[in-house]
Amino acid sequence: MPVLRFHPWVFSGAVQRIVGQPTDGDIVDVFSSRNQLLGHGHFHHGSIAVRLLSFGPANLMEHSFWVQKLESAWRVRRAVGLPTTSETNCYRLVHGEGDGLSGLIIDVYGATAVMQCHSIGMHRQRELIAGALQAVLGDSLHAVFDKSKEALPPQYAASVQNTYLLGTPASSAEVVENGVLFQVDWAEGQKTGFFLDQRENRKLLAGYASGKTVLNTFCYTGGFSCYALRAGASLVHSVDVSAKAMALTEKNVHLNAPFEGKHAGFTADVLAFFKDTKQTYDVVVVDPPAFAKSLNKRHNAVQGYKRLNEAALAKVAPGGILFTFSCSQVIDRELFYHTIAAAALVVKRPVRVLHHLTQGPDHPVSLFHPEGAYLKGLVLQVE
């Protein structure tokens, strides 16, 4: 039984009997067939019937429970050197199952914590969580913003508004990551406003960018672009289909320096851009959104990744570098590797693997919940 191996999901097919009539989001006790208490969690009518937050006795309605959980997460971030006052003040404080809090994400941008609940049960406890955040982070925390509406089941989300649970309202802030500046808009941006999981990979790219031409596709707010420019790239092109994303990229580029003549943004479909451009680049970044969020979409996603990487590999200059990623949880590391290999066979170019990439250490993965390792990437040298 997965729960006995500390996997936090109780699947509906494993439930023998439900006592009473729990509604979505209720806190429930989970027992084995021998009436042994296994833990407590949030109930939901669906394939994942319970998201366990404790294995054994606990009171999920107590302030102390949440303080203990958040203190544990905070210790992990301090252990990996986050935050640093001058170099990095944005990081993920809670990464769902990786921190024993299935259904909860908390990202910190300077003095604001942005909370995103992915389950009704977690959202119903948002005030308790905000209070515990204040207790753990103290004076360094000025505000808590709840950005859960987009992540919750649609019927429940219809009556939910993104709002401040604590502190003075603000829609955005200027943050620093490895010395690079970014304007983060948590109110209107994707997810919580910024993709913090790529911090280490952006830093790695900077080491390859000096004096090089760089193409950053699916650029969103220009993370890889700004790192490349700060590292001395001779030319950076950023591409995203969203005009709003391109405006944010331009804003972030100018936050770091004028870089006159060294950056150009293109609002375009990435595959169309690859088809239309005659230019090749020393470094190409391919970081698309998830192509599949369920197993029945996996085949189409694999074909999409293959076509995309065929096009990208063709635009890498001889001896150049490709950074390529997938954040689709249903595409595992081995399948992603073989998909990229299939793309390389089509373009008939020798390719070396230089790095295997994943999410940063503030996005930890529970040893008992390998599904949490969603981000995978390869750095390839292309002849």
Q: Does residue 184 form part of some domain? A: no
Q: Is residue 317 part of a domain?
A: yes
- Provide the 8-state DSSP code for 289: P
* Same-domain status, 118 and 263: no
For residue 301, being part of any structural domain is answered with yes
Range of the domain at 15: 2-54
In terms of DSSP bridges, do strands 9-11 and 48-54 run parallel, antiparallel, or are they unpaired?
antiparallel
- Domain end (from 54, 71, 86): 54
Q: What is the CATH number of the domain that holds 231?
A: 3.40.50.150
Nearest of 177, 197, 246, 229 to residue 96 by alpha carbon: 197
Same domain, 212 and 343: yes
pLDDT at residue 1, rounded to an integer: 67
Q: Residue 138: inside a domain, yes or no?
A: yes
Residues 201 and 148 in one domain: no
Instruction: Mark whether 209 and 330 lie in a shared domain.
Output: yes
pLDDT, tens digit (0-9, with 9 covering 90-100), for 67-125: 999 999 999 999 999 998 789 999 999 999 999 999 999 999 999 999 999 999 999 99
The number of distinct structural domains making up the chain is 3
- Strand arrangement of the beta sheet that strand 27-31 belongs to: 9-11, 48-54, 37-43, 27-31
Residue 166 token pair: 């604590």
Residues 332 and 257 in one domain: yes
Tell me: do 205 and 309 sit in the same domain: yes
pLDDT of 62: 97
Whether residues 119 and 215 fall in one domain: no
What is the predicted pLDDT for the residue at 179? 97
In a shared domain, residues 71 and 33: no
In a domain, 28, yes or no: yes
314, part of any domain: yes
**pLDDT mean across residues, the chain:** 96
Residue 105 shares a structural domain with residue 240? no
- Catalytic residues, by residue number, are 327
Domain shared by 366 and 220, yes or no? yes
Residue 175 lies in a domain: no
DSSP 135: H
For residue 383, with 0-12 CB atoms within 10 Å meaning exposed, 13-18 middle and 19 or more buried, which class applies?
exposed
What pLDDT is stored for residue 299 in this prediction? 87
Where would I find the beta strands (DSSP E) of the chain?
9-11, 27-31, 37-43, 48-54, 90-95, 104-109, 112-117, 143-146, 163-167, 172-177, 180-185, 213-217, 235-240, 263-267, 281-286, 316-326, 351-357, 376-382
pLDDT at 295: 75
Q: Are residues 89 and 213 in the same domain?
A: no
Pair 203, 339 in one domain: yes
Q: Yes or no: say if 351 and 381 are a contact pair by the CB < 8 Å rule.
A: yes
**What residues in the chain have per-residue pLDDT under 50?**
none
Examine residue 283 and state whether it is found in any structural domain, yes or no.
yes
Neighbouring CB atoms inside 10 A of 262's CB total 17
- Give the CATH number for residue 19: 2.30.130.10
